Each structure stands twice: as C-alpha cells, then as structure tokens.
Structure 1
Amino acid sequence: MSCTVTDGVADVRLDRADKLNALDPSMASALIATGERLRRDPRVRVVVVSGNGRAFCAGLDLRSFQAMAGGQAVRLRHDDEQPYTGAASSTGQRAAHVWAELPMPVIAAVHGVAFGGGLQIALGADIRMVAPDARLSVMEIRWGLAPDMTGTQVLPELVGRDVAKELTFTGRIVDGEEAGRIGLATKVTAEPRKAALELAREIAGKNPQAIRWAKQLLDLAGRTPIADGFAAEQQAIGELIGSRNQVEAVRANLDERTPVFTDDPQ
C-alpha cells in the first residue's frame, strides 16, 4: 500500500502489482490501517483509491484458495491500534467498509479487474470511476462462497435487489460499459484514475465541513427514519451557517474569487 496527501487529496494505491493487487492478510490489514489513519488526518478532504499495475484488485489471493482446497479455513486478520466499534465484524468486511466509514468522500478508480473482494472494496467508495474495458464480478460463487466483505448489503442499493442477485448467483463478469448501465459504475471513463483525481481536486476546493455533512446526510437516506434524516439536516445547517468556512464561501462568491478554506471547522 502507498498513500500520499497533496492539497487535501489522499492518493491511496494498492501495490501488489505482480499479483494484480490480490488480497492477502497483509494487504487487508494495510487497507484498514490506512483508512483509519486517514480518518484521523484533518488535512484530508477527499480520498482516491486505485490499484498499481494492470488491475484494481483481483480479489482474494490464489494461495488462499489453494489452502481452501486442502480443507483449511482461511481468515484475514488485523490487529487494532485502537478498539474498533463499527458495524463490520471481520477483517475482510473492514477492509471494504473502512472507506464507507470515512467522513470525507472516497472515489474508487477501477481498471483491469475488480473481482470478489476487490469489487467489494470498490463498493465501499462513494463514487466509482471505471474504465470501459474493466472487468468486474461478484466472483465468490465460483469458489463455492457467498460475498462476505459487505457486498451483499451494499450492492442491492446500487443496482437493485434483482440484479444484485443475478450477479451474485452467477458470478458472471461485466465490463465497464455494462457496469455504467446497471449503476455499478458512477462514470465510465478511459482514464479512471485521472478522472478520479480531477474530481477529488474539485471536491477538495469546497467547504470541507459542508462536504462531510453532505456525505453523512446522504448516507442516512433510506437507512434511517425520515424524521431522523430531517433532524440531521437541521443539525448540519445549524453548525454550518456562520462558521468560518461558510462565511468564506459566501464572501468568495460575492467577490468572484476562489475561496480559501481551512481544515479547522470553527
């Protein structure tokens, strides 16, 4: 794994290029540790997740399946620096869900393959930029498994319950163009990482507190009683109006200049 932060944009790269960035215990642990570190970094306004080499992520490492063929129970493991209190109970789930838990937007840039666990990591992002010739699959059924890295709970929201079942029951591979048509890709683009970084820089230029509130509010939609969602909107607007960055946004608009925001929410 590599991670650099420039002008508020965290550039996270899966880096087992010789293995198509397949997941092994160290990769899963690194995903969690990187996500948790970014959560605590006040400089980070947007995160881009991509893969080095020829693929985004090919899913679970082949050696794990070879071990399964011998009857071994394969489990990913992560040792926490701090106690974890979120919804994901396993290391595999957390490797994908950590991106959904981040308070700032996360954009996945998908090229090559995103199979099984690799696809579920992409599903943890808020936005997915996908190459037209990318190949995506809920691959677990081909190995006699069901998805267990949060995909069963996230995929139906994106593509509909029936399409999610068809993809999961068959394990068939869809290309980037089809992914765009069915809602698995937010945008299909020939250069997904370039597009993701451009979008990230645009978002990073907005009031970071407003962006974080917007993500939180949108994530509540359909998952919480509507009255609670309305109440959260009012809490958000109460905190934003008159805050330093909100005042700067208004002044910059009136002055027709680029706003300069601070990562201090006051």
Structure 2
Amino acid sequence: MSRVSIEVENHIARVTLTRGDKMNALDPEMLDAIAAAGESLMGRDDVRVVVLSGEGASFCAGLDVMSFGAMAGKDPEEMLMPRTHCNANLFQQVPLVWRKLPMPVICALQGVAYGGGFQIALGADVRFAAPGTKFSIMEMKWGIVPDMGGMALLPHLTRSDVLRRLTYTAEPFVAEQALEWGLVTEITEDPLAAAMALAEEIAGKSPSAIRAAKALIGFAEDNMHDPDAVLLEESRLQATLIGKPHQMEVIMANMQKRAPVFD
C-alpha cells in the first residue's frame, strides 16, 4: 500500500501522505516513503515549489504506537546513532529532508500534528493550519525526547521558555496558540488551498533567485552569530544572480508589464 504520493504540475510538486485511515501515523514503511519522496525531488530542476499535506482528517498523528513493539527488540544505539542520511539518521531525515530541499516547501495542516508529525511540519518553510488544528511535542508522554530533528528547527521558530514548556509537558496546543508562538505561519479555513495559492505565486518568481533566497536564509539562521560570514554569503549568492538569464527575464517582464517566462 502506497504511503506517499507525488504529483508535479505547473512546477509545483504536491506531496501527500496517503495513510489517511490511520491519521497518517508513522510506521517504518511510512518513514521510508516520506524520506524517499523528499529525496526524489532533490535534483528536480522542473520543481520550483513543494506543497506537503496529509489526506483525511489529520496531517499526521506521529509515531504509530504499534511500531513501538517492532522497535523494542532493537539496540537503540545501532538504530539511532549511524548517520545514514548525511548528517542525520532516518528518523531525523523525515522532517529535515524538506528543509534540505533547494526549493521552498509549504505545509498544509489539519486535524492533528503530533510528535513526529509536528516535526515533519517544522521542516517546511511555511505552515498553513486549519482553525483548531492540534499540535504537540509528544515524546515526553512516552518517556523519550524529541529525536526527529525538531531540536535543530524549533530554536529558530519560538522562544526558549515556550520550547522547554512544550517539551517537558507534552501538552497539546491548538493552531491559534501555535500562531502566537511562531510555530505556524497563518490560520485559514482551507490550508491546502492557501498553500497552493502561495506555491503558484512563488512558482512565478525567478527559480534561481528563489533557490538562492532559501539557501541564504538557511545560512543566515545557522550563522546568526557570525554576521561577517552572512554578509559574505549574501554577496556571493547575489553575484551568481545578477545579469544571468533569469534575472534578465525578470527585468524585461517588469518593463513590458507581463509575467516572466523561465526556461
């Protein structure tokens, strides 16, 4: 049974978690499929934006509890410590692959995004949530810490005291609170429609400039205590764009009052 579908149209890749009857809960097959879906888009020059969503009532309910039994007999160090995906293990790659993609990723959320499901959403550049969507850093409920890349992402999004409270308690919180804490971008009645509308807008911009912008923002976030390095990278990336075909097409389109057309 398929766990993830990918459809590419008009330079937008729609990636959908397709285990809706199980609230898109993460079993081993689902983890492999999500990581593979993200990795399959890594070299797709025709894809300018990704929209990530989950079918059914919920985006993702987190780890399938039945998977605990399957993992119980395995050595945790052997399962978690090898860096099987560059700087990450499989569990970490599932959310981080979306941040590693060169093009923006927009996530549409509804129902619940618990535990690993919440961390997957954090890997996106932008998150639209339906009113009342529930979130939780749920790992403490099971006596463990967040281990799917959340701690590489959350400190960039919310305050330390909020992060600590949510991690220590595993308490659920709703989209309205998540918006206040900086964990979702916008609340909307139809998050998938909002995600697609934003994707269409981004897909009409210079593909090389959009990718450079995502790379630059990531570099700045990772080097916020080294402004000299950020300023140098800003200049380096700008030099790769000025006078190149995509930028020249943007200039001509602006002058001719038309939409740009990119190869």
When normalised by structure 2's length, the TM-score is 0.92
Post-superposition shift, 1:32? 1.1
1:10–1:48: 8 Å Cα contact kept in structure 2?
Answer: yes
After superposition, residues 195-210 of structure 1 pair within 5 angstroms as 195-210=194-209
Instruction: Verify the 8 A CA contact 2:156 2:221 in the aligned structure 1.
Output: no
Q: Which residue of 2 aligns with 1:80?
A: none
Aligned residue number for residue 163 of structure 1: 162
Distance 2:120 2:97 in 1: 9
Equivalence for 1:242: 243
Q: What aligned pairs does 1:1-266 form with structure 2 within 5 A after superposition?
A: 1-67=4-70, 71-73=72-74, 86-88=86-88, 90-224=89-223, 225-262=226-263
Query: Over residues 136-164 of structure 1, what are the superposed CA-to-partner deviations in whole Å (9 max), with x where a residue is unaligned?
Result: 00011111111000112211221111100
How far did residue 64 of structure 1 move?
1.7
CA contact 1:67–1:74 (8 Å) conserved in 2: no
CA deviation digits over 1:44-102, x for unaligned, max 9? Answer: 0000100001110000012023556xx5348798xxxxx966321x1100011100000
Structure 2, unaligned stretches of length 5 or more? none
Letter of the 2:35 partner, please give it.
I
Contact residue 249 and residue 262 of structure 2 kept, 8 A = yes
CA separation in 1, counterparts of 2:75 and 2:101? 28
> Is the Cα contact below 8 Å between 1:55 and 1:111 reproduced in 2?
yes
SS of match in other structure, 2:41: helix
In the superposition, relative to structure 1, how do residues 175 and 95 fare at CA in structure 2: closer, same or farther (>3 Å)? same
- The letter of the residue matching 2:57 is R
Query: Is the Cα contact below 8 Å between 1:64 and 1:74 reproduced in 2?
Result: no
Q: Percent identity?
A: 46
Query: Structure 1 length normalisation: TM-score?
Result: 0.91
What is the number of equivalent residue pairs in this alignment? 254
Structure 1, gaps ≥5 residues long: 78-82
